[in-house]
């Protein structure tokens, strides 16, 4: 049985800015540990840009994984929201990046493009260090498996069959990601 929803999992971040590199590390964990059906593209985007407008027309679902700040919750708290939930409600919570997913969807709508948008974000401890620093703070790194679980759960609940590379088993409800050592390439 195939997965009919054309999906982009877009992991966003800047790995030189501590916790802002959360999306990049989530990408590494996802691609090192799991095989996705052909209809799912897992992408490491760095930052969202208007060059991605055409992708809104190419996919049925864009699932963005990003570091967020300003929620008032402890570092490592995970949120699931739509682009409209943050951008149009006047809340300080949002991506650490200049271009928000809602901006991208608004621009795409002007061209007649549409797809469903879902964001999975984690409250960071420090996404704006005073100098370039790689790595995640301990509070965020500790919760990274939960963020990966949240991405996998979103896909599985939509009928996507994700396989664990090491064992071939299908990820199912209640699955828990185990961190893997990823060599930087």
Tens of pLDDT, residues 56-70? 788 999 999 999 988
User: Where would I find the beta strands (DSSP E) of the chain?
Assistant: 7-12, 34-35, 40-46, 61-69, 78-81, 94-95, 116-123, 163-164
- Count the Cβ atoms, other than its own, within 10 Å of residue 66: 28
Distance CA 34, CA 64 (A): 17
pTM to 2 decimal places = 0.86
Distance CA 37, CA 160 (A): 7
pLDDT at 94 over 70: no
**What distance lies between CA 122 and its chain's CA centroid?**
9
Distance CA 4, CA 57 (A): 16
pLDDT at 101 over 90: no
pLDDT for the residue numbered 90: 47
Tell me what the mean pLDDT of segment 98-114 comes to: 72
């Amino acid at each position: 049985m195939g997965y009919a929803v054309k999906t982009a999992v877009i992991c966003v971040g800047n790995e030189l800015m501590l916790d802002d590199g959360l999306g990049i590390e989530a990408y590494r964990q996802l691609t090192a540990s799991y095989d996705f059906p052909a209809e799912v593209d897992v992408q490491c985007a760095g930052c969202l840009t208007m060059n991605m407008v055409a992708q809104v027309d190419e996919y049925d679902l864009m699932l963005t994984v990003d570091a967020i700040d300003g929620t008032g919750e402890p570092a490592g708290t995970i949120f699931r929201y739509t682009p409209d939930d943050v951008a149009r409600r006047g809340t300080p919570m949002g991506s650490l990046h200049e271009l928000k997913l809602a901006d991208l969807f608004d621009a795409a709508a002007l061209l007649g493009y549409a797809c469903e948008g879902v964001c999975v974000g984690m409250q960071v401890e420090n996404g704006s260090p005073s100098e370039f620093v790689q790595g995640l703070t301990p509070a965020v790194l500790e919760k990274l498996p939960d963020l990966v679980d949240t991405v996998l759960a979103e896909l599985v609940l939509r009928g996507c069959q994700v396989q664990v590379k090491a064992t071939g088993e299908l990820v199912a409800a209640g699955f828990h990601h185990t961190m893997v050592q990823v060599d930087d390439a």
